[in-house]
């Protein structure tokens, strides 16, 4: 039976510090695993002879069933009796489920893609069930005005591990292609399973603080949805879901486009993908510090607008170096969007409701992901090509248009929930994030990029004269 610690225990402060440290170490292991599955699952499916439509199913079906599992997530937490116990059991089973996937690369088995889909689906469903308890536990550790800083720092450290993992995996696959692509893919996916076992080990270090339960905190999904007009939080969820739908129209097909149509090798594919992670590494602490001052809603609306243009940039170039620059911009703005979306939930929902609200958020967002990925898979080669180019570029343009519409229609309907925050306009915020004219004092994160900073300052100053 898990011991639930009390805040007034003299040992709690030290235990909280150790738990937050364990969260970072667990995140490093998890990021290596996630990086492998996010960036190399589609190459694995293509190696197993998946069609474009099957790639869409591999992305959409696991996330759809994961979303449906959220109907029962709060009930499962209640039945488990402890968020920590559910978290540990879920991660242990996830790690076991990852073991058979790499074996598909070389064993003789009919319907390999169906087996891959089944294992990935079970893995994703378990991940969605343990997500709300993890978010609920860790958010209890931190006061409101420290979450952005901590999660920004954690994301940066975790991002380093992602870059190292992607670099090593990409280089290893490129080298192994000379001998056996199957063995290369098998080994990196086996690494993902090992990393998940290490995640389990670090999760055992977490403590669980008191989690008060009130009968008024129980509400059904339909009660939750019906409050759309009154609830700021529900409006926020539908905005995020609309952005997820728009993004997933094309998300899976950037990899297909690079590998099948541009015929990039694994090293080039890895370099372009890693550019986004590297930029996110720079971005997380910058956005985190700004979020603590100006609130999460302001950053969400700015970054949500900026990410709308990313698919359009892909239409105008095939050059790997230009695509790397585009992905750096993508990683930077998506870093702010994703960080502040998570922090907004923690700010908007009191601790006793977080598991249920996180579950409903994942449910709605998962349905949007399934809808976007499924529609994208159907439209991928049915849209008319742009100027004789790939139909996938038409899909990228459609994704950009839907993102812009989501921002124009829904972003103005939810507001910041923090009582104290600095009011700035989008231009001031963006200039501060770039380190040109800071609203926070000195932007320490840009200190390692003095040349870039001087360039921005010179250009900004020239526009003011």
What is the secondary structure of 109-173 as a DSSP string? Answer: -SSHHHHHHHHHHHHHHHHHHHHHHHHHHHHHTS-GGGHHHHHHHHHHHHHHHHHHHHHHHHHHH
Q: ∠325-331-335 over CA atoms, to 5°?
A: 155
* pLDDT-based confidence at residue 462 (cuts at 50, 70, 90): very low
pLDDT of the residue at 240: 93
Give me the mean pLDDT over the 162-172 stretch.
Answer: 80
Assign 4 to helix, strand or coil.
strand
* 177-200 average pLDDT score: 88
Q: What does the pLDDT read at residue 239?
A: 93
On the CB side of 434, CA atoms within 13 Å amount to 19
pLDDT digits (tens, 9 = 90+) for 18-33: 888 888 899 899 988 9
CB-count exposure of residue 366 (10 Å: 0-12, 13-18, 19+): buried
Give the residue among 275, 330, 31 at the shortest CA–CA distance from 157: 31
Domains by residue range for the chain, with CATH: 12-210+221-449 (1.20.1250.20)
Res. 441: pLDDT tops 60: no
For residues 328 and 73, which has the higher predicted lDDT (pLDDT)? 328
Res 7 pLDDT > 60? no
Mean pLDDT of all residues belonging to the chain: 81
**What confidence category does residue 218 fall into, taking pLDDT thresholds of 50, 70 and 90?**
low
Q: Which residues contact 420 (CB under 8 A, 6 or more apart)?
A: none
208 - beta bridge partners? 4
**φ and ψ at residue 381, rounded to 5 degrees:** -115, 20
What pLDDT is recorded for position 219?
A: 64
Percent of the chain having pLDDT more than 90? 21
- pLDDT surpassing 70 at residue 364: yes
Q: Which two tokens stand for residue 291?
A: 């979020």
Contact (Cβ atoms closer than 8 angstroms) between residue 400 and residue 311: yes
Token pair recorded at residue 361: 């958020």
Contact indicator for 22, 35 with CB cutoff of 8 Å: no
Please, which pLDDT band fits residue 202 given cuts at 50, 70 and 90?
very high
Mean local confidence (pLDDT), 92-110: 88
Q: Is pLDDT at 196 greater than 70 in this prediction?
A: yes
Q: How many Cβ atoms from other residues are within 10 Å of residue 323's Cβ?
A: 23
Rounded to an integer, what distance in angstroms lies between the CA atom of residue 272 and that of residue 265? 11
**Higher-pLDDT residue of 138, 7:** 138
C-alpha–C-alpha distance, residues 182 and 202, integer Å: 31
Q: What confidence tier does 190 reach under pLDDT thresholds 50, 70, 90?
A: very high
Sole residue written with tokens 């809808």: 371
Distance CA 329, CA 317 (A): 15
Q: How many CA atoms lie within 13 A of 413 on its CB side?
A: 19
| Other C-beta atoms lying within 10 Å of the C-beta of residue 212 | 8
The candidate with the shortest Cα–Cα distance to 147, out of 6, 284, 319, 327, is: 284
255, pLDDT greater than 80: yes
Nearest alpha-carbon partner for 251 in 102, 402, 355, 362? 402
Burial class (CB in 10 A: 0-12, 13-18, 19+), 415: exposed
Least confident range from 143-147, 289-293, 456-460: namely 456-460
Whether 231 shows a pLDDT value over 70: the answer reads yes
DSSP label of 71: T
pLDDT recorded at residue 209: 76
Q: What is the pLDDT of residue 432?
A: 75
Average pLDDT over residues 262-291: 83
Q: Give Cβ neighbours of residue 352 (< 8 Å, ≥ 6 apart).
A: 211, 212, 213, 214, 217
Inform me whether the pLDDT recorded for 2 exceeds 60: no
Neighbours of 309 (CB within 10 A): 15
Residues 116-140 pLDDT 10s = 999 999 998 888 888 878 877 887 7
Token pair of 216 as six digits: 């008024």
Report residue 457's pLDDT band, with 50, 70 and 90 as the boundaries. very low
pTM of the model: 0.69
For the segment 44-49, the average pLDDT, to the nearest whole number, is 86
**Model confidence at 459: pLDDT above 80:** no
Model confidence band, residue 10 (pLDDT cutoffs 50, 70, 90): low
Can you give the pLDDT at residue 460?
43
Q: Between the ranges 3-7, 164-168, 215-219, where is the mean pLDDT highest?
A: 164-168
For residue 226, is pLDDT > 70? yes
Contact between 139 and 351 under an 8 Å Cβ cutoff? The reply is yes
């Amino acid at each position: 039976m898990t011991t639930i610690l009390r805040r007034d225990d003299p040992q709690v402060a030290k235990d909280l510090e150790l738990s937050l440290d364990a969260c970072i170490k667990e995140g490093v292991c998890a990021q290596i695993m996630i990086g492998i599955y996010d960036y190399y699952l589609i190459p694995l499916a293509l190696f197993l002879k998946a069609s474009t439509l099957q790639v869409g199913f591999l992305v959409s079906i696991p996330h759809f069933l994961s979303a449906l599992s959220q109907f029962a997530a709060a009930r499962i937490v209640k039945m488990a009796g402890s968020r920590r116990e559910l978290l540990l059991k879920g991660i242990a089973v996830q790690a076991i489920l990852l073991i058979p996937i790499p074996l598909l690369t070389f064993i003789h088995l009919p319907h390999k893609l169906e087996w891959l889909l089944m294992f990935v689906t079970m893995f994703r469903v378990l991940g969605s069930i343990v997500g709300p308890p993890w978010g609920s536990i860790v958010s209890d550790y931190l006061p409101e005005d420290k979450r952005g800083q901590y999660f920004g720092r954690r994301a940066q450290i975790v991002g380093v591990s992602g870059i190292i993992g992607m670099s090593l995996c990409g280089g290893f696959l490129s080298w192994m292609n000379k001998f056996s692509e199957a063995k290369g893919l098998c080994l990196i996916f086996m690494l993902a399973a090992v990393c998940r076992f290490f995640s389990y080990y670090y999760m055992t270090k977490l403590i669980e603080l008191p989690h008060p339960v009130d009968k008024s905190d129980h509400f059904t999904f339909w009660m939750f949805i019906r409050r759309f007009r009154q609830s700021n939080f529900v409006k926020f969820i539908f905005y995020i879901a609309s952005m997820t739908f728009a993004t997933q129209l094309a998300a899976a097909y950037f990899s297909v486009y690079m590998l099948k149509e541009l015929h990039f090798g694994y090293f080039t594919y890895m370099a372009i993908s890693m550019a986004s992670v590297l930029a996110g590494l720079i971005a997380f602490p910058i956005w985190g510090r700004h979020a603590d001052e100006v609130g999460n809603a302001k950053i969400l609306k700015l970054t949500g607008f900026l990410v709308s243009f990313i698919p359009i940039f892909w239409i105008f170039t095939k050059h790997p170096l230009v695509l790397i620059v585009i992905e750096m911009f993508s990683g930077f703005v998506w870093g702010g969007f994703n960080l502040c979306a998570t922090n907004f939930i923690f700010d908007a929902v009191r601790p006793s409701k977080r598991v249920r609200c996180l579950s409903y958020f994942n449910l709605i967002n998962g349905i949007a992901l399934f809808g976007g990925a499924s529609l994208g898979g159907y439209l991928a080669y049915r849209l008319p090509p742009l100027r004789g180019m790939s139909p996938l570029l038409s899909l990228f343009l459609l994704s950009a248009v839907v993102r812009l519409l989501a921002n124009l229609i829904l972003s103005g309907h939810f507001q910041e929930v923090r009582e104290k925050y600095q009011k700035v306009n989008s231009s001031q915020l963006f200039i501060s994030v770039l380190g040109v004219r800071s609203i926070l004092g000195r932007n320490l994160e840009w200190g390692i990029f003095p040349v870039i900073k001087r360039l921005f300052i010179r250009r900004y100053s020239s526009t003011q004269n």
